């Protein structure tokens, strides 16, 4: 093995593509290397719920033989990828981290999966999540708690904790997740990797199991910004099967990635540096802003006055939508059916009572209450009005700034069990990520340092709708001047 | 404002969600605490503000009504907890 093919699992997707193009390594060897990494580490990290080892190797071999014959290959040829277990893959079990869907095998592929397969990616398997993507730590999974590869006593974040930990632990070079209130950016931040939530409507939700339909969006995890641009090139774009997926043109996100944005005005919101922000996190974020200032960026103090209301708004909007979306789990078409029932209604109630975990029940109850007769105006409608004010805050900010930058999370990764008995404390860990979903904006978290306990710190960049190209270029301006994205967690 | 166990029973009935006795009392306590936090929203003046149900300015997206193949009956029924011939089986509705 030559020097360039050492430590295959620490490489980025673009590096793996170049190595194959130069003929230095085959797709099969890459896939085997990542499967071995999973075998060595996943009993500790617990990123994966299911592995498709045989299928992955067979796919890699097909790609190698296509390459040998000189056939045209997709833009992710031979790159392994892990997929959050709420994104449907035809014929592969999709549990959503729930006992309700323990045996569910989707009869179709999600749009994002079709795109991955057309791009010749190699799907390794499905990753752990909080049940139905409801949570911030993966502790709500009915199957296992994923661990943070930087410190196995800590949570990886959530709900896409398995997809984040898989990349951070070098079990997969890239992965897909979903983000409803921070479920990509928060775990990316806590695991020291890059996580992008695209604009609402940028990526089709067809085949993403619904949690809160006006907030859910499929997005990406990777070690660096270029891999994020590459993966977004694959999954973004119109799909008629999701009527909220828009026909806004998809640029080549990689083409101009190295070109800085000049002039660049960065909005810094006072509200994102308020009480509750850890001092070490604040220090790293302020230093990151200086790095961008050093490249000519102008910092503008702005205010997002309604951000203190974002969490309360989210927990009404998201739970109301969830209570409606999750009514499909009735024990009839698919999912768990209780054995001991007296009649049809009793069968619904018992199947749902047995199949759902505590947090899912809590959110269905809250959402049902917020929509119930006599309360809908005071709760749900009130939340939708505050949601408008939150969106207006951002529209005003983006009239005078290119990007809003701040911390992704108020603290670094917390210990397993630390917040699991206090739902409200857990909800508050998403304080900086949630507004982005309510407003439908794109947001990215990139690594910007470590605290004194060697836990990663994330920098969040928020942009105007459909400004992913600009957002990625600004993220790259910072990344180019720093080395955080080159660090890899050593799982022992 | 405190949510009572009776209210929890009513909400769980609306949600078709059977809760065990310990879940019922726990839910009352937790929903009360979450709703007390959520009442923060009452501080916000929302007079004359249009609700925002959806971040995109789209409505009534239409497509051509063209007949095309869908998944097969076998595939559609492949996850059914109870299958009766080509139908989903459910408990008797009429006694």
Q: Is B21 on the interface with A (CB under 8 A)?
A: no
Q: What is the mean pLDDT of residues A75-101?
A: 98
Q: Is B23 on the interface with A (CB under 8 A)?
A: yes
- Write down the pTM of the prediction: 0.97
pLDDT value at position B62? 86
* Residue B86 predicted with pLDDT over 90: yes
* Residue A171 predicted with pLDDT over 70: yes
DSSP assignment of A147-198, as one string? Answer: -BTTBTTB---SSSHHHHHHHHTTS-SEEEEE-SSSTTHHHHHHHTSEEEEP
Comparing CB atoms, the residue among B34, B42, B53 nearest residue A384 is: B53
Q: For the domain that residue B26 is a member of, what is the CATH number?
A: 1.10.20
pLDDT value at position A172? 98
Q: By residue range, what is the domain housing residue B31? A: 5-43
CA distances from B16 to A101, A148, A318, B9 (A): 18, 36, 19, 10
Give the residue, A492 or B81, on which the prediction is more confident. B81
Measured CA angle at A231 (ends A254, A2), to 5 deg: 85
CA atoms within 13 A on the CB side of A73: 24
Q: What is the mean pLDDT of residues A325-347?
A: 95
Instruction: Check B81 against A337: CB less than 8 A apart.
Output: yes
Alpha carbon of B9: minimum distance to chain A alpha carbons (Å): 10
Cβ neighbourhood burial of A61 (10 Å; 0-12, 13-18, 19+): middle
**Residue A410 is encoded by which pair of tokens?**
């108020």
Helix axes A225-235, A13-21, angle to 10 degrees: 80
Instruction: Yes or no: say if A358 and A275 are a contact pair by the CB < 8 Å rule.
Output: no
Residue whose pair of structure tokens reads 């409608």 in the numeric block: A381
3-state secondary structure A239-283: CCCCCCCCCCCCCCCCCCCCCCCCCCEEEEEHHHHCCCCCHHHHH
Comparing alpha-carbon positions, the chain A residue that sits nearest to B60 is: A243
Distance separating alpha carbons of residues A459 and A419, to the nearest angstrom:
23
Helix axes A358-371, B21-38, angle to 10 degrees: 60
Measured CA angle at A303 (ends A297, A305), to 5 deg: 155
* pLDDT digit string, tens, across residues A353-364: 999 999 999 999
Name the pLDDT band for A322 (thresholds 50, 70, 90): very high
Alpha carbon of A247: minimum distance to chain B alpha carbons (Å): 11
Instruction: Check B16 against A348: CB less than 8 A apart.
Output: yes
Query: Which of A385, A427, A430 is the mutation pick for testing B, counting most B CBs within 10 A?
Result: A385
pLDDT value at position A420? 87
Give the residues across from A449 on adjacent strands: A457
Residue B68 lies in a domain: no
Comparing alpha-carbon positions, the chain B residue that sits nearest to A314 is: B38
Which residues of chain B are within 8 Å of residue A361 when distances are taken between CB atoms?
Answer: 17, 19, 23, 27
Distance separating alpha carbons of residues A457 and A277, to the nearest angstrom:
12
DSSP state of A209: P
Instruction: Give the number of beta-carbon pairs within 8 Å between A and B.
Output: 162
pLDDT value at position A84? 98
Pick the closest to residue A18 from A58, A69, A75 (CA basis): A75
Residue B34 lies in a domain: yes
Mind telling me the catalytic residues of A? 84, 159, 183
* pLDDT digit string, tens, across residues A390-404: 999 999 999 999 999
Instruction: Check A438 against B55: CB less than 8 A apart.
Output: yes
Residue B64 lies in a domain: no
Residues B68, B70, B73, B79, Cα dihedral to 10°: -170
Q: What is the mean pLDDT of residues A146-158?
A: 98
Residue B20 lies in a domain: yes
Name the pLDDT band for A3 (thresholds 50, 70, 90): low
Residue B31 lies in a domain: yes
Instruction: Check A368 against B14: CB less than 8 A apart.
Output: yes
pLDDT value at position A2? 60
Give the residue, A374 or A1, on which the prediction is more confident. A374
pLDDT more than 70, % of chain A: 99
Report the mean per-residue pLDDT for chain A: 96
Q: What is the mean pLDDT of residues A450-470?
A: 98
pLDDT more than 90, % of chain A: 95
Distance separating alpha carbons of residues A138 and A131, to the nearest angstrom:
8
A107-121, A199-213, B24-38: the lowest-pLDDT one? B24-38
Comparing alpha-carbon positions, the chain A residue that sits nearest to B54 is: A214
pLDDT value at position A6? 78
- How many CB atoms neighbour CB A31 within 10 A? 25
Residue B14 lies in a domain: yes
Q: Is B8 on the interface with A (CB under 8 A)?
A: yes
Name the pLDDT band for B58 (thresholds 50, 70, 90): confident
**Residue B38 is encoded by which pair of tokens?**
């959520």
**DSSP strand pairing (A298-302 vs A265-269):** parallel
Distance separating alpha carbons of residues A463 and A198, to the nearest angstrom:
10
Instruction: Check B54 against A244: CB less than 8 A apart.
Output: yes
Instruction: Yes or no: say if B53 and A313 are a contact pair by the CB < 8 Å rule.
Output: no
Report the mean per-residue pLDDT for chain B: 92
Phi-psi sector, A144: left (phi>0), alpha (psi -120 to 50), beta: beta
Which residues of chain A are within 8 Å of residue B15 when distances are taken between CB atoms?
Answer: 323, 352, 364-365, 368
Residue B26 lies in a domain: yes
Residue whose pair of structure tokens reads 């917020």 in the numeric block: A370
Look up the ipTM and state it. 0.96
Helices (H) and strands (E) in chain A, counts: 15, 11
DSSP state of A331: S
Q: Is B64 on the interface with A (CB under 8 A)?
A: no
Instruction: Check B17 against A312: CB less than 8 A apart.
Output: no
* Residue A123 predicted with pLDDT over 80: yes
Give the residues across from A126 on adjacent strands: A50, A83
Name the pLDDT band for A425 (thresholds 50, 70, 90): confident
Residue B60 lies in a domain: no
* Residue A483 predicted with pLDDT over 70: yes
Instruction: Check B49 against A323: CB less than 8 A apart.
Output: no
* Residue A297 predicted with pLDDT over 70: yes
Phi, psi of A45 (to 5 degrees): -80, -35
Give the residues across from A92 on adjacent strands: A89
If one counts the domains in chain B, the total is 1
* pLDDT digit string, tens, across residues A239-271: 999 999 999 999 999 999 999 999 999 999 999
Would you give the distance in Å from CA A6 to the centre of its chain? 29
Instruction: Yes or no: say if A403 and A420 are a contact pair by the CB < 8 Å rule.
Output: no
Domains and CATH numbers, chain A: 3-258+444-486 (3.90.1300.10)
């Amino acid at each position: 093995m030559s020097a360039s093919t050492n430590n295959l699992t620490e490489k980025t997707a673009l590096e793996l593509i170049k190595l194959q193009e130069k003929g230095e390594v085959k797709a099969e060897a890459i896939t085997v290397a990542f499967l071995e990494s999973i075998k060595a580490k996943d009993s500790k990290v617990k990123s994966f719920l299911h592995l498709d080892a045989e299928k992955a190797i067979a796919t890699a071999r097909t790609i190698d033989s296509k390459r040998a014959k000189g056939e045209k290959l997709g833009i992710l040829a031979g790159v392994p990828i892990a997929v959050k277990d709420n994104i449907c893959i035809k014929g592969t079990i999709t549990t959503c981290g729930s006992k309700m869907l323990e045996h569910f095998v989707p009869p179709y592929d999600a749009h994002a999966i079709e795109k991955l397969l057309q791009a010749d990616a190699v799907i390794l398997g499905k990753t752990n999540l909080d049940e139905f993507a409801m949570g911030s730590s993966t502790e709500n999974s009915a199957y296992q708690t994923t661990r943070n590869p930087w410190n196995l006593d800590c949570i990886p974040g959530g709900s896409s904790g398995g997809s984040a930990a898989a990349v951070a632990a070098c079990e997969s070079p890239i992965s897909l997740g979903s983000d409803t209130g921070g479920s990509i950016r928060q775990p990316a931040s806590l695991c020291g990797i890059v996580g992008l939530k695209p604009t609402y409507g940028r990526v089709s939700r067809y085949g993403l199991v619904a949690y809160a339909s006006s907030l859910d969006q499929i997005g990406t995890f990777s070690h660096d910004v270029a891999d994020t641009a590459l993966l977004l090139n694959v999954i973004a774009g119109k799909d008629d099967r999701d009527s909220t997926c828009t026909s806004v043109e998809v640029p080549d996100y990689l083409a101009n990635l190295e070109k800085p944005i000049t002039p660049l005005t960065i909005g810094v919101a006072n509200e994102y540096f308020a009480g509750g922000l850890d001092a070490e996190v604040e220090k790293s974020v302020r230093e990151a802003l200086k790095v961008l200032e050093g490249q000519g960026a102008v910092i503008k103090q702005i205010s997002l006055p309604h951000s203190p209301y974002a969490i309360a708004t989210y927990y009404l909007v998201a739970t109301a939508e969830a209570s409606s979306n999750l009514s499909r789990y009735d024990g009839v078409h698919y999912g768990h059916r209780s054995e001991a029932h007296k009649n049809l209604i009793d069968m619904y109630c018992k199947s749902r009572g047995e199949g759902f975990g505590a947090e899912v029940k809590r959110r269905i109850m809250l959402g049902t209450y917020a929509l119930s007769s006599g309360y809908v105006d005071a709760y749900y409608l009130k939340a939708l009005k505050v949601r408008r004010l939150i969106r207006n805050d951002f529209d005003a900010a983006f009239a005078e700034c290119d990007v809003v930058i701040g911390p992704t999370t108020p603290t670094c990764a917390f210990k397993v069990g630390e917040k699991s008995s206090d739902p409200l404390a857990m909800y508050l860990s998403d304080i900086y990520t949630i507004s982005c979903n309510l407003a439908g904006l794109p947001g990215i978290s990139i690594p910007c340092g470590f605290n004194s306990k060697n836990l990663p710190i994330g920098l969040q960049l928020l942009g105007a709708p459909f400004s992913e190209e600009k957002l990625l270029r600004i993220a790259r301006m910072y990344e180019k001047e720093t080395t955080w994205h080159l660090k890899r967690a050593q799982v022992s | 404002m405190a949510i009572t166990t009776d209210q929890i029973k009513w909400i769980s009935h609306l949600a078709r969600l059977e809760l065990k006795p310990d879940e019922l009392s726990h839910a009352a306590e937790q929903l009360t605490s979450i709703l007390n936090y959520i009442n923060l929203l009452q501080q916000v003046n929302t007079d004359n503000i249009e609700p925002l149900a959806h971040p995109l300015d789209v409505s009534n997206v239409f497509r051509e009504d063209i007949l095309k193949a869908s998944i097969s009956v076998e595939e559609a029924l492949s996850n059914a907890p109870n299958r009766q011939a080509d139908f989903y089986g459910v408990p008797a509705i009429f006694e």
